[in-house]
Amino acid sequence: MVIVSIADLKTVVGEDVLVTYALGSCVGICLRDDVNKVSGLAHIMLPWSKTASEDEQNMRRFADTGITELMQQMVDQGAKSRNITAKLAGGAQMFGVASAAFNIGERNIQAVQKVLETYKIPVAASDLGGNYARTIYFHTVDGKLEVRSATKPTIFI
Amino acid sequence: MALKKMDDLTPVHYDVLREIGNIGQGNAATALAAFSNKLVTIDVPNVRVLDITQAIEYLGGPENIVTGILVRLRGDINGMMLTILQSGFVKNLIEMVFSRTPADQFDLSEIETSFVQEIGNILSGSYLNAISSLSGMCTDVSVPYVTTDMVGAILAVPAVEFAEIGSKVLFIDDCFTFSEGFHDKVYTASRSNMILIPELQSLEDLFTRLSIPV
């Protein structure tokens, strides 16, 4: 089991489980090249890196730079970008609908989808939005994404 | 010199924040005592600057289920304040006030949920009162937003909004102990945490008002 912390990313080759905990408004991006058995997971917090401050240390926080780095690492490990498909989870609005100003989740979802579109990566499945946190287990053996939450039943997508 | 990031705070600044924490916690204890009809004693609060990841670990790891109450601050102090109540705290309060033991934090009626929201409101208000009584600064507070979920996802909310301050937060550790009286051996200790995410300018203004060099 490989744990990916907030604003970080990891890749694995072969059979393993990539885990990231407590996705709220953050989005978990699971990429997999089924042919070369290379998989990766990124846990992004914010949509676009152009909002970063000058001394920003961690470009993995952003959807655009995070996905780009994840793709690069996967290609370095033998993945071919034309084989890669994506599964997504997260992008919730914590603290309910009353807090429209906080709706970063929706903006994260849009950014992730846009970036994946530019790389021509199809989204095979997703579990997005809502107002609750998700923990995800990406089973790279078959590409199933297990989504757990505090109050909803566990689903596999 | 201006405050550029939370790490620039000196021990003197910490003392001031701890004192504010102390007064705030005193105010909060008075309110909790009125609610619960118990004797409420407090420990000296611990004030630290933590990054979001450390704060999440400290609060029991990303998947720990807590109740978070968020208020926005506008006025002389701009920012956010997040009150984190551990499950034990919520259960104790409900037990004391409603004489019912909920199975978990999700097992709350509408009025109990509203009560928990009010507690968060009182706790954050107590700290803001402490700040304004010391410094004369005036701050408006938004209605409280409440959610019960994984602490990792709750703490990501201020982290995202205040990304420019380098994901550091001001972390205040509170411990309230409820008992029937000073000689009562049966007591329950409840932990709560206040997380203050002020804009750095507001923090600087606060220290300036108190004539503390920044």
Domain span including residue B163: 9-208
Domain span including residue A139: 2-156
What per-residue confidence (pLDDT) applies to B72? 87
Average pLDDT over chain A reads 91
Q: Which B residues 102-141 touch A at CB under 8 Å?
A: 106
What per-residue confidence (pLDDT) applies to B36? 80
Give the model confidence (pLDDT) of A45-85 as tens digits.
999 888 766 666 688 989 999 999 999 999 999 999 999 99
Give the model confidence (pLDDT) of A141-157 as tens digits.
999 999 999 989 999 99
Q: Which of B63, B68, B146 shows the shortest C-beta gap to A135?
A: B63
| B61 contact residues in A (CB cutoff 8 A) | 21
Q: Which residue of A has its CA nearest to B159?
A: A45
CATH number of the domain that B34 lies in?
3.40.1550.10
Question: What is the sign of the dihedral through the CA atoms of B37, B41, B47 and B48?
Answer: negative
Q: Which residue of B has its CA nearest to A4?
A: B62
* Alpha carbons B64 and B66: distance in angstroms, whole number: 6
| A6 contact residues in B (CB cutoff 8 A) | 52-53, 56, 62, 152, 156, 159
Q: Which A residues 12-31 touch B at CB under 8 Å?
A: 21-26
Nearest to B149 by CA among B91, B73, B69: B69
Sheet holding A155-156, edge to edge: A2-3, A17-23, A134-139, A144-148, A155-156
Kindly report the nearest CA distance between residue A85 and chain B, in angstroms.
26
3-state secondary structure of B61: coil
Best of B73, B142, B149, B151 to disrupt the A interface (most A CBs within 10 Å) is B149
Among A34-43, A87-96, B37-46, the range of highest mean pLDDT:
A34-43
What per-residue confidence (pLDDT) applies to A56? 64
Q: Which of A24, A45, A99 shows the shortest C-beta gap to B145?
A: A99
* Residue B164 touches chain A, beta carbons under 8 Å: yes
Nearest to A122 by CA among A22, A2, A53, A33: A33
Residue B2 lies in a domain: no
pLDDT tens-digit profile, chain B (214 residues): 567 777 778 888 888 888 888 888 888 888 888 888 888 888 877 888 888 888 889 999 999 999 999 888 889 888 888 999 988 888 888 888 888 888 888 888 999 988 888 888 888 888 888 888 888 888 888 888 888 999 999 988 888 777 654 567 788 888 788 887 766 666 677 788 888 888 888 888 988 998 888 7
What per-residue confidence (pLDDT) applies to A55? 63
Residue B213 lies in a domain: no
* Alpha carbons B202 and B163: distance in angstroms, whole number: 16
* Residue A59 touches chain B, beta carbons under 8 Å: no
* Alpha carbons A32 and A80: distance in angstroms, whole number: 10
* Residue B200 touches chain A, beta carbons under 8 Å: no
Q: Into how many domains does chain A fold?
A: 1
Residue B92 lies in a domain: yes
Torsion of CA A103, B80, A19, A116, to 10 degrees: 30
What one-character-per-residue DSSP string does A28-96 give? EEEEEETTTTEEEEEEE-BS-GGG--TT---GGGBHHHHHHHHHHHHHHTT--GGGEEEEEEE---TT-
Give the rounded percent of residues in chain A with a pLDDT score beyond 70.
92
Is ipTM > 0.85 here? Answer: yes
Q: Which of B53, B151, B157 shows the shortest C-beta gap to A95?
A: B157
Q: Quick check: B149 and A132 CB within 8 A?
A: yes
CB crowding A20-40: b at 16 or more within 10 Å, else e: bbbbbbbbbbbbbbeebbbbb
- Yes or no: say if A89 and A145 are a contact pair by the CB < 8 Å rule: yes
- Yes or no: say if A33 and A53 are a contact pair by the CB < 8 Å rule: no
Q: Which residue of A has its CA nearest to B145?
A: A95
Residue B3 lies in a domain: no
Question: What is the sign of the dihedral through the CA atoms of A75, A81, A86 and A92?
Answer: positive
Residue B77 lies in a domain: yes
The helix/strand count (H/E) of chain B reads as 6, 8
What per-residue confidence (pLDDT) applies to B187? 65
Q: What are B176's strand-pairing partners?
A: B42, B190
Torsion of CA B75, B76, B78, B84, to 10 degrees: -100
Nearest to A39 by CA among A85, A89, A108: A85
* Residue B147 touches chain A, beta carbons under 8 Å: yes
What are the C-alpha distances in Å from B171 to residues B49, B110, B168?
6, 30, 9
Q: Which of B65, B154, B163 shows the shortest C-beta gap to A94?
A: B154
- Yes or no: say if B25 and B45 are a contact pair by the CB < 8 Å rule: yes
Q: Into how many domains does chain B fold?
A: 1
Confidence of residue A101 (pLDDT cuts 50, 70, 90): low
What per-residue confidence (pLDDT) applies to A113? 96
**Which residues of A are marked as active site?**
26
* Alpha carbons A27 and A47: distance in angstroms, whole number: 10
| B68 contact residues in A (CB cutoff 8 A) | 94-95
CATH number of the domain that A52 lies in?
3.30.1330.200
Q: Which residue of B has its CA nearest to A97?
A: B145
CB crowding B25-62: b at 16 or more within 10 Å, else e: bebbbebbeebbebebeeeebebebbebbebbeebbeb
| B146 contact residues in A (CB cutoff 8 A) | 95
Question: What are the structure tokens assigned to B103, written together?
Answer: 């199975």
Residue B163 lies in a domain: yes
